[in-house]
Chains A and B, each alone.
Chain A
């Protein structure tokens, strides 16, 4: 465990310029800077279940071995790589079979890769913890949301990802892993199934220039734009979405999903996060929201009418230039755990960060080779 000093502590009034009703948001902010040593003195044991390659750790599932490495190269962490079923008996996970080596240090033409060459093949599998069996759910498919309404995923029009061709597909929903799929989307697009908010499916459409549009599907064929920006998290009751549009507006919002109305907003420009942007794939527990920022992590509070910034933490940019990914609450909301990528010429390594909110303390797990992905279920 390592202590770090707060570098900013202030109380202020946020003046909103974010387009929702004006708020009088008195907030107490503690922005802190974490500079861990390479070997943490007391490595934390991850409390969250995660998958490392084919191996599942935690979640009370013993000896779970997946059919393939869990990976989602088409979507990054726009949606979880692996998702637990609502009854916690199964895990649905994305896989990727590389069909042709694609070295990012070279252009495609220098590698002799012509337009249309198959590069990879996505597929979604389900691991049943009762039987220990892995079965394929959808071949040529990517991204999963598993809620009480069923399993949503994106089925590629072409089952392979090909050089020079954008991967597009349709959103399908199955009531169970063995049920027939029903198409929910209209024209094929680069969709990403993100989460269920009760009976509404939240998804992204990735448009040219990788512009992300957040969509809500209320039923088959009934699609609407929920918001510009990206999804940080859904409220525990599934009524609200915490959305960031900080690239364009410097604002984060709480949006009522059924109506699409912004009911609260917060302008980062009036806060210690003024020079940063907030990112997607966070979590929400009770009235707290954890989010990734450009330089670390932040915890916001939503009291039902207003958003305030509770605390922010900067990671040391020299050691951890890529910030923390997929922050999740643990310890009943007292701490946040996240993964941190450490790329190097020797390959990718990952560590897990545990941050005690309000305590000025952070710990790091030992580094492991390769990528680590939490599997949880953001659907509500």
Chain B
């Protein structure tokens, strides 16, 4: 290869490397980042329906495989502790696939940041369905008080079964926004409709 051509190739390589570093630093090098991490939410039921913990566990798929935690938030599920009680009980324990993750979801009852989960059978075979991780916020992730788009008290951690995180309002922090940022930064699903294997593992007492 002529020397001038070698120099041009080396220059091009350096430019490409620099561009790659730049893209990585501003978060546009998605594919390379996404394949290096894998993760899942872990929801640990509390002593009550409103004092559980949700955390994001992740691991480097090319590394040691050891799970590390990146973010942990107070969360709630249900208003009773019977996982078979449709519309009231907390979620049955076990792993759930994700169905979609949306930042500006517009449903009939829930809005804004959501992760939709697959359904699951409880201890007597009843299916718990129409499940989400969500908060109380507007489609644009704001607050509209009072009402169903307003996070106002600890009782807002109660749900019909879904896992709930707080939105920024009163003395509560934007936990659902933080969970979105941190999970996406460590291998979690991006926005859109696509299945994400084992997005959540629910643990804690489901049986005596």
- Chain A's interface: helix, strand, loop or mixed, by majority? loop
Contact B94 A76 (CB under 8 A): no
Candidates B96, B123, B162; contact of A343 at CB < 8 Å: B123
Among A102-110, A128-136, A351-359, which stretch is in contact with chain B? A102-110
Contact A167 B160 (CB under 8 A): no
Q: Is there a chain B Cβ closer than 8 Å to A190's Cβ?
A: yes
Contact B97 A109 (CB under 8 A): yes
Query: With the chains together, A321 CA to B161 CA distance in Å?
Result: 17
**Quick one: closest B residue to A212, CB to CB?**
B87
- Chain B's interface: helix, strand, loop or mixed, by majority? loop
Contact A341 B124 (CB under 8 A): yes
Contact B80 A211 (CB under 8 A): no
**Quick one: closest B residue to A206, CB to CB?**
B130
Q: How far does the Cβ of A158 sit from chain B's closest Cβ, in whole Å?
A: 14
List of B residues within 8 angstroms of A344 by Cβ: 207-208
List of A residues within 8 angstroms of B107 by Cβ: 208
**Quick one: closest B residue to A276, CB to CB?**
B80
Q: Which of B94-140 contact A (CB under 8 A)?
A: 94-97, 99, 107-110, 118-132, 134
Query: With the chains together, A277 CA to B121 CA distance in Å?
Result: 23
Binary contact readout A276-310 vs B (1 if CB under 8 angstroms, 0 otherwise): 01010000000000000010000000000000000
Q: Is there a chain A Cβ closer than 8 Å to B195's Cβ?
A: yes
Candidates A206, A209, A348; contact of B162 at CB < 8 Å: A209
Contact B109 A104 (CB under 8 A): no
List of A residues within 8 angstroms of B208 by Cβ: 318-319, 321, 342-344
List of A residues within 8 angstroms of B84 by Cβ: 76, 322, 341
Contact A322 B82 (CB under 8 A): yes
Contact B195 A78 (CB under 8 A): no
Binary contact readout B70-98 vs A (1 if CB under 8 angstroms, 0 otherwise): 00000000011110111110001011110
Contact A208 B198 (CB under 8 A): no
Candidates B94, B125, B162; contact of A106 at CB < 8 Å: B94
Q: Is there a chain A Cβ closer than 8 Å to B176's Cβ?
A: no
Q: Which of B174-208 contact A (CB under 8 A)?
A: 195, 197-198, 205, 207-208
List of A residues within 8 angstroms of B124 by Cβ: 341, 343, 348, 371
Contact B79 A210 (CB under 8 A): no
List of A residues within 8 angstroms of B166 by Cβ: none
**Quick one: closest A residue to B94, CB to CB?**
A104
Among A2-10, A67-75, A178-186, which stretch is in contact with chain B? A67-75
Contact A110 B95 (CB under 8 A): yes
List of B residues within 8 angstroms of A110 by Cβ: 95, 197-198
Candidates A166, A319, A343, A348; contact of B129 at CB < 8 Å: A166
Contact B80 A277 (CB under 8 A): yes
Contact A207 B108 (CB under 8 A): yes
Binary contact readout A91-112 vs B (1 if CB under 8 angstroms, 0 otherwise): 0000010000010111111100
Contact A208 B79 (CB under 8 A): no
**Quick one: closest B residue to A323, CB to CB?**
B82
List of A residues within 8 angstroms of B87 by Cβ: 78, 206, 210-212, 230
List of A residues within 8 angstroms of B129 by Cβ: 74, 166-167, 190, 206, 210
Contact B162 A210 (CB under 8 A): yes
Q: Is there a chain B Cβ closer than 8 Å to A12's Cβ?
A: no
Q: How far does the Cβ of A350 sit from chain B's closest Cβ, in whole Å?
A: 9
Whether A279 contacts B85 in the complex (CB less than 8 A), given A167-B129, A212-B160, comes out as: yes
Q: Is there a chain A Cβ closer than 8 Å to B152's Cβ?
A: no
Q: How far does the Cβ of B178 sit from chain A's closest Cβ, in whole Å?
A: 21
Q: Is there a chain B Cβ closer than 8 Å to A237's Cβ?
A: no
List of A residues within 8 angstroms of B123 by Cβ: 341, 343, 348
Residue with the highest number of chain B CB atoms closer than 10 Å, among A73, A110, A166: A73
Residue with the highest number of chain B CB atoms closer than 10 Å, among A75, A107, A108: A107
Whether A107 contacts B109 in the complex (CB less than 8 A), given A247-B88, A322-B82, comes out as: no
Contact A164 B99 (CB under 8 A): yes
Candidates B82, B86, B158; contact of A206 at CB < 8 Å: B86
Q: Is there a chain B Cβ closer than 8 Å to A217's Cβ?
A: no
List of B residues within 8 angstroms of A163 by Cβ: 118-119
Whether A78 contacts B118 in the complex (CB less than 8 A), given A107-B96, A209-B132, A343-B124, comes out as: no
> Which B residues contact A (CB, under 8 angstroms)?
79-82, 84-88, 92, 94-97, 99, 107-110, 118-132, 134, 158-162, 195, 197-198, 205, 207-208
Name 21 interchain pairs, CB-CB below 8 A, sorted by A: A73-B121, A73-B127, A74-B127, A75-B86, A76-B86, A104-B94, A106-B95, A107-B96, A108-B97, A108-B118, A115-B195, A164-B195, A209-B160, A209-B161, A209-B162, A211-B109, A246-B79, A247-B160, A277-B88, A322-B82, A344-B208
Given A190-B130, A206-B86, 5 other A-B residues pairs in contact with their CB atoms under 8 A: A78-B86, A167-B129, A212-B86, A318-B208, A323-B82
